[in-house]
Amino acid sequence: QKEVEQNSGPLSVPEGAIASLNCTYSDRGSQSFFWYRQYSGKSPELIMFIYSNGDKEDGRFTAQLNKASQYVSLLIRDSQPSDSATYLCAVNADAGNNRKLIWGLGTSLAVNP
């Protein structure tokens, strides 16, 4: 059973700080990694995806991938109260004849003013 694990939190950071969210996965063949944000009562929305080892930056968000250690992380710089949400990690994994997304349970982030 392919797995994606995240610390459920809540992760609490002060406004302006860096929030670091982590995700580990079990399928060494995984090639695509996604971070979604989900506000309470809303649907998940894609923040970033990353395919290659290293860092990928988009505004205040940086995704980091380390395939050797099988983890992917999301850094949020200059955290704002509007960043308070649950962050879902999704990883593609082998499903026999095809590949599918495996979802983590999410990390709850609270940014305190």
Stretch that binds other proteins, among 12-20, 57-65, 68-76, 104-112 (CB under 8 A): 104-112
Q: Show contacts with other proteins in window 58-97 (CB under 8 A).
A: 88, 92-93, 95
In this structure, what token pair is assigned to residue 68?
């050797």
The count of C-alpha atoms lying within 13 angstroms of the C-alpha of 53, restricted to the half-sphere facing its C-beta, is 5
What string marks each residue from 13 to 52 as x (binds other proteins by CB under 8 A) or -? ------------------xx-x-------xxxxx--x---
Say how many residues touch other proteins, by CB under 8 A: 21
Please say which residue, 45 or 78, places its beta carbon nearer to other proteins.
Answer: 45
Residue corresponding to tokens 């860096």? 18
**Single-letter code of the amino acid located at 32:** S
Of 18 and 95, CB closest to other proteins: 95
- Is 50:95 a contact under the CB 8 Å cutoff? no
Applying CB under 8 A, among 24, 62, 65, 104 the residue interacting with other proteins is 104
The sheet with strand 4-6 has its strands ordered as: 4-6, 19-25, 71-76, 61-66, 54-58
Q: Any idea what DSSP says for residue 18?
A: P
Contact positions vs other proteins (CB under 8 A): 31-32, 34, 42-46, 49, 88, 92-93, 95, 98-101, 103-106
